[in-house]
Structure 1
Amino acid sequence: MAFMSAKVPSLVRLVFYTLSSATFLFAAGTGAAGVPAIYVFGDSTADVGNNNYLTGKAARANFPHNGIDFPEQRPTGRFSNGYNGIDFLAIHLGFRRSPPPFLSIASKFNHRIARGTEGVNFASGDQEFWTPRSLFLISTGGNDIFGFFSQNLAPNNTEKERFINTLISTYEYHLQKLYGMGARRFGIVDVPPIGCCPFPRSLNPTEGCVDLLNELALQFNEATKIFMSDLSLKLKGMKYSIGSSYALVSNIIHNPSPLGFKETRTACCGAGKFNGESACTPDVACCTERNRYLFWDMLHPTHAASKLAGLAIYNGSLEFASPVNFKQLAEELY
C-alpha cells in the first residue's frame, strides 16, 4: 500500500488551510449549506448513544474512559474519547454536533424532528419527517464484513463476490426505500481499512494488518461507487457524495507525523496486544496523548482522527470525497 504516500500532501495542505481558515469553513457550513436537518444511519462508528437504550446489547460506551474529551468529560455512548466523525460533519454543516440518538427521544415525540428542523441519529445497528433538502448520512458495512470474516477466514473469490453482491443489493434496497419516502441527498461514508484496527491486528500472528478484511472493504467501497452512480441516474433528483474514510485512515497509517499522529497500531484505551483484546472500560489503561493516537479503542478512531476525517470529507479533494465533497453536496440547489 505504498502508493498512499504519494497522496498525502493534499491532506496535509487541507489541514494547514483549515488551521488558518477555520472560521471561514465553519461560517460556510452554517450559512451556505442550506441543510435544515440531517438523519444518520450507521453502525458503532456513527452511534451517539442508541445502544444505551437497547436491552441485552453488549456493545456500549456509556462509561469511562469513553467521553473523557467530550464536553464535561461525559460518556454519552459514543465509542470515542470525544466526538465521532458524524459529529464533525454535522458541525461543518452548521449544527452543534450530531442529532440526538433516535431511541433517546422515541418515547417522547420531539416536535423539532417532526418539523424536519433538526434531524435524528438512528445509528447503532440499524419518518417521513424529512424534507427534500435534508441530508442523509450513512456509515455502514464494516460490521457486515467482520461478520463474514468471522464465519470464513479463507473465502474463495466466488464466496467473496457473492458476499459483496448481497451486501450491495441490501444497501441499494434500503436507499431506494429512503428515496421513496422523500430522501434526495445522501452522504455516504465508506468502510475504512478495518484490517488495520487493533482488534484484528491483535489476532494476526504477523502483527500486521489483516489483508483479507482490507480487501473486502475495498471491494465493497468500489461496488458502492458503481451502484450509487447508477442509482443517481435512475432516481430523479438524487444527489450523493461518498466520503472515503479508507483513503483518510490509510494516509494517517502510512504518514502519521505530518498529520499530527505518532501511534497508528495500538489503541489509546484497552488491554492486551495493541490494546486490541479488550474494549475500553474503566478498569483498563488509557493513554495521555490522546490527540496523537489514530485508534481510541479496539475498533474505533479517536476524536482527533474523526476531526481530520470530518474535515477531509466535508471540504477535501476528490481523493477524500467524490463525485463532490459534502460541502458541495449540501449546497446543491433544488
Structure 2
Amino acid sequence: MDAGNTITVASFAIVVVLLAAASSLAAAAAVPAVYVLGDSLADVGNNNHLLTLLKADFPHNGIDYPGKKATGRFSNGKNFPDFLAENLGLATSPPYLAISSSSNANYVNGVNFASGGAGVFNSTNKDQCISFDKQIEYYSKVQASLVQSLGEAQAASHLAKSLFAITIGSNDIIGYVRSSAAAKATNPPQQFVDALIQSLTGQLQRLYDLGARKLVFLGTGPVGCCPSLRELSAARDCSGEANEASALYNAATASLLHGMGERHADLRYAVFDSSAALLRYIEQPAAYGFAEARAACCGLGDMNAKIGCTPVSFYCANRTGYVFWDFYHPTEATARKLTGVAFDGSPPLVFPMNIRQLTAM
C-alpha cells in the first residue's frame, strides 16, 4: 500500500469515528435523560440497599465490570441500561436508592428504579424487591421534585424528551411456570397473561400521566430457555410452557402500547422483541459469535443451573462465548448485542421504530 492510500484509509477511519461521535452527541442532545424501570435485567444496584436474598453485590458478578467489582448488576459486567446510555452518549442512570436519601439528589440526569425480582404483579417476589408499582411511586416523587426545581413547564418538557426504558414480566412468568399444576389448571396461560396486561395497562398509563412520552419496552425473553428452566427437563430442552406464556405476553404488550399510542397522540414508543432476538443466539450460537447457549457461565450443578452465581460457584473463562451468565441472566456480551439490535434494528425485532429513531422524534 502506498503512502497516498495509507492517508486515504486513515482519513476515512477518522471520518467514521467523528460521524459516530456526532451521532451519539445528537442522540444525547435529543434525549437529556433516561429513566429506567424493571427487574434484574436492568438493576444497577437498587437491591444492594434492600434486605433481600435477591442480590448480586458479591463475586463473581462484576468480574468484567470496570474495576472488576460486583456492583449489584446480575451480570459479569455491564447490562442493558449501561449499553443504552453508551449508545445515547450519556452516563448510566444511577440507582434511585443510592441517591434518594441525599438532600441534593440530582434527578435531571436520569434515575434507575429497576429491582431484581420485580414483576408486574406486586405478589411476585413480594418483600424481596421493589415492586413495579413501588418503582412508579418512587418515580412520582422524582417527577414532583423536578417540577419543584425546574418549574412545571420545564419539567414537563424535560420528561417528554427523556427516554423511559422498561423491562418487566419475566419474573411473573417464571413464577407462573414454577407454580403447581393445580394452580395452573385454574389459571390457564391466556388468563394469566390477560391479568398481567390488565395490571400493566394501569401502570403504563400512570407513567404517561406523570410525563413519560418516549417509551422503550423490552419484551420478555425466551424465559423457557434460561438454564434454570432447561435444567428441569430431562432432555435439557427449553420449556415450551414458559416460552408460550412469554410470546403471549409480548404480543399483548405490543397491542397495549399500540392502543395507548392511538389514544395519546404525543406518545411515542419502541417495542423490542427480545424473545425473538435472543432465540437467534440460542438456536444459532456460532453465527452470532457464541460457543455455549445452554449452560450458564457461573453457577453450580448440572449446566451450572442448580445454584446461582456466588463466590463459591464455578465460572467460565470465556465469558464472551456464553449467552447466559448465570441460571437466569445474560452475559455482558449478550446484553451488548441485544441492545445494539434494539437501538438500530428493524421490524419485526424492534417496532414500530427502533430506539435511535425514537430519540430523534
The normalised TM-score by structure 1 is: 0.88
Partners of 2:67 and 2:114 in 1: how far apart? 23
1:45 corresponds in structure 2 to 41
Structure 1 residues 101, 22: closer, same or farther in 2, change over 3 A?
Answer: farther
Task: Work out which of the residue numbers 261, 264, 281 in structure 2 matches 1:235.
Answer: 264
Q: State whether residues 36 and 111 of structure 2, in contact with CA within 8 Å, keep that contact through their aligned partners in structure 1.
A: yes
Structure 1 residues 163, 54: closer, same or farther in 2, change over 3 A?
Answer: same
1:193 corresponds in structure 2 to 222
Superposition CA RMSD, Å: 1.8
Structure 1 residues 77, 162: closer, same or farther in 2, change over 3 A?
Answer: same
- Structure 1 residue 159: Cα displacement: 2.0
Partners of 1:152 and 1:330 in 2: how far apart? 43
Structure 1 residues 304, 329: closer, same or farther in 2, change over 3 A?
Answer: same
State the secondary structure of the residue aligned to 1:288: coil
- Show structure 1 runs of 5+ residues with no match: 1-19
- Structure 1 residue 158: Cα displacement: 6.3
The alignment status of 1:123 with 2:114, answered yes or no, reads yes
1:171 corresponds in structure 2 to 200
Partners of 2:196 and 2:21 in 1: how far apart? 35
1:148 corresponds in structure 2 to 176
Partners of 2:286 and 2:18 in 1: how far apart? 25
Partners of 1:21 and 1:280 in 2: how far apart? 40
Q: Pick which of 29-38 and 295-304 moved more.
A: 29-38
Identity %: 39
Cα deviation digits, residues 167-217 of structure 1 (max 9, x gap): 011111011111111111100000000100011111112211111000000
Q: State whether residues 27 and 89 of structure 2, in contact with CA within 8 Å, keep that contact through their aligned partners in structure 1.
A: no
Task: Work out which of the residue numbers 161, 169, 180 in structure 2 matches 1:133.
Answer: 161
Task: Work out which of the residue numbers 222, 226, 231 in structure 2 matches 1:202.
Answer: 231
Paired letter, 1:267: A
The alignment status of 1:65 with 2:60, answered yes or no, reads yes
2:152 corresponds in structure 1 to none
Q: State whether residues 26 and 92 of structure 1, in contact with CA within 8 Å, keep that contact through their aligned partners in structure 2.
A: no
Cα deviation digits, residues 257-282 of structure 1 (max 9, x gap): 12110100011000111101111011
The alignment status of 1:108 with 2:102, answered yes or no, reads yes
Alignment of 1:72-83 (within 5 A): 72-83=67-78
Cα deviation digits, residues 112-142 of structure 1 (max 9, x gap): 31xx2x1000000332135211110000000
Paired letter, 1:151: S
Structure 1 residues 23, 110: closer, same or farther in 2, change over 3 A?
Answer: farther
The alignment status of 1:221 with 2:250, answered yes or no, reads yes
1:289 corresponds in structure 2 to 318
Paired letter, 1:121: N
Rg (Cα) greater in structure: 2
The normalised TM-score by structure 2 is: 0.82
State the secondary structure of the residue aligned to 2:295: coil
State the secondary structure of the residue aligned to 1:265: strand
Q: State whether residues 232 and 239 of structure 1, in contact with CA within 8 Å, keep that contact through their aligned partners in structure 2.
A: yes
Structure 1 residues 52, 318: closer, same or farther in 2, change over 3 A?
Answer: same
Which structure's relative contact order is higher, taking Cα pairs within 8 Å and 6+ residues apart? 1
- Show structure 2 runs of 5+ residues with no match: 1-14, 119-130, 132-141, 147-157
Q: State whether residues 29 and 327 of structure 1, in contact with CA within 8 Å, keep that contact through their aligned partners in structure 2.
A: no
Partners of 1:200 and 1:32 in 2: how far apart? 38
